Amino acid sequence: MSFQDKLIFIVGNSRSGTTMMLRIFNMHPQLMVLNELHFFEQLWSPEDKGKIISKEEAITLAAKLLLTQRIGYMTHDQNFSQFNEEATLFINEICKPDVTAEDVFHYFMQREVALHGKTIICEKTPQNVFYLSEIFELYPNAKVINMVRDPRAILLSQKNKWNRRNLGGDYMTRKEALRLRINYHPITLSKLWNAAIHAANLFKQDKRVLFIRFEDLLEAPETTLRSICKHIEVDFDSNMLNITQESSSIEKDSKEIGFKKERASNWKKGGLNESERWICQKICKSNLLKNNYEIENIQPNIFYIAFYLISFPIKIMLALLMNLNRMKNISETLKRRLR
């Protein structure tokens, strides 16, 4: 079995879900999950496919991938040049006269799995749900796990995500915390949730894609994980159940072992006002019902609704400005996120 036959992508509309899968999979003796590399969309766009790049460009790309994998995506130190030496050695190892960005990405993943003594590598960038066509074109034998979560829970998580700095995420910079606060808006996130659902549903009949609800994973972890292991063709390992409680945006990190079922319904206990939940339901109702999520009977505050409508275009513009450096091709990214 080749490397390409042992490649897994964890995608979806739930960063909490994909991050939990990282901790779960890393407990398995065969599986290694990379940090969010954001290769597709931020470092590569479809127009780059097959384009030969210079050795200097290849080294820069490799250094950026190494930075994200070694240090992280939201950390203080974003100086990728510190990895130029390792990146140069890595690029010199690629025995090809002409190298593309896809080659660098491919060999980077292959190299990482070898360095860690694992046999199956997983990439867990949630936004890759918008690039499944490109992923399957490059890796036709890859397996995909699409994580779905209640959009109201995602609203609560994203509303408080900036506070990870105070809950154990000391890697997060103040600038990153500010960006996350600006990104939050109930209309924006509800529309993005719908977009991710629609993008994944294009592959609903594709046997390479497994749809998993975050809530089902919390409610019945062993049953759900056995289903996932069957999909990716590995044996279930009971160590996968021994994860710690980390990466929440509303609770401090804990070394407590296991799955907390109550995380699925935290959004019902406060943190979101009824108007935020009403907006979310209004926009996402059809997909909520299709994914077996309940609809609350609630009445919004007309003044809050007016505020969210007036602030929406302002927040959109601010969020765009704060995220410009995270898009290789702005028009392509927006088209995929908003279609």
CB 36 within 8 A of CB 124: yes
For the cut 50, the answer to whether the pLDDT of residue 211 exceeds it is: yes
- Please report which confidence band the pLDDT of residue 241 belongs to, taking 50, 70 and 90 as the band edges: very high
Task: Please tell me the predicted confidence (pLDDT) of residue 72.
Answer: 76
pLDDT single digits (tens) 74-93: 664 578 889 999 999 999 98
Task: Please tell me the predicted confidence (pLDDT) of residue 256.
Answer: 72
For the cut 70, the answer to whether the pLDDT of residue 179 exceeds it is: yes
For the cut 60, the answer to whether the pLDDT of residue 169 exceeds it is: no
If one counts every other C-beta atom within 10 angstroms of the C-beta of residue 93, the result is 10
Tokens 């127009």 sit on residue: 47
Closest CA to 272 of 161, 192, 186: 186
Tokens 């779960």 sit on residue: 24
What distance lies between CA 242 and its chain's CA centroid? 22
For the cut 80, the answer to whether the pLDDT of residue 129 exceeds it is: yes
CB 36 within 8 A of CB 11: no
Task: Please tell me the predicted confidence (pLDDT) of residue 202.
Answer: 96
Domains and CATH numbers, the chain: 3-338 (3.40.50.300)
Query: Torsions phi, psi of 291, nearest 5?
Result: -105, 15
- Please report which confidence band the pLDDT of residue 293 belongs to, taking 50, 70 and 90 as the band edges: very high
Mean pLDDT of the chain: 88
Report the C-alpha dihedral over residues 304, 150, 153, 320, rounded to 10 degrees: -70
Task: Please tell me the predicted confidence (pLDDT) of residue 205.
Answer: 95
Write b or e for each residue in 211-229: b if 16 or more Cβ atoms lie within 10 A of its Cβ, otherwise e: bbbbbbbbeebeebbeebb
- Please report which confidence band the pLDDT of residue 1 belongs to, taking 50, 70 and 90 as the band edges: very low
Q: Give Cα separations from 29 to 24, 32, 240, 249 (angstroms).
A: 11, 8, 10, 29
Contacts made by residues 333-339, CB under 8 angstroms, sequence distance 24+: 333/41, 336/41, 336/130, 336/131, 336/195, 336/199, 337/130, 337/192, 337/195, 338/191, 338/195, 339/195, 339/198
Q: Looking at per-residue confidence, does 202 or 244 come out higher?
A: 202
Task: Please tell me the predicted confidence (pLDDT) of residue 2.
Answer: 47
Give the tokens for residue 318. Answer: 């601010």
Give the tokens for residue 54. Answer: 């210079």
Task: Please tell me the predicted confidence (pLDDT) of residue 131.
Answer: 95
Give the tokens for residue 165. Answer: 């700095």
Least confident range from 30-34, 39-43, 175-179: namely: 175-179
pTM of the model: 0.88
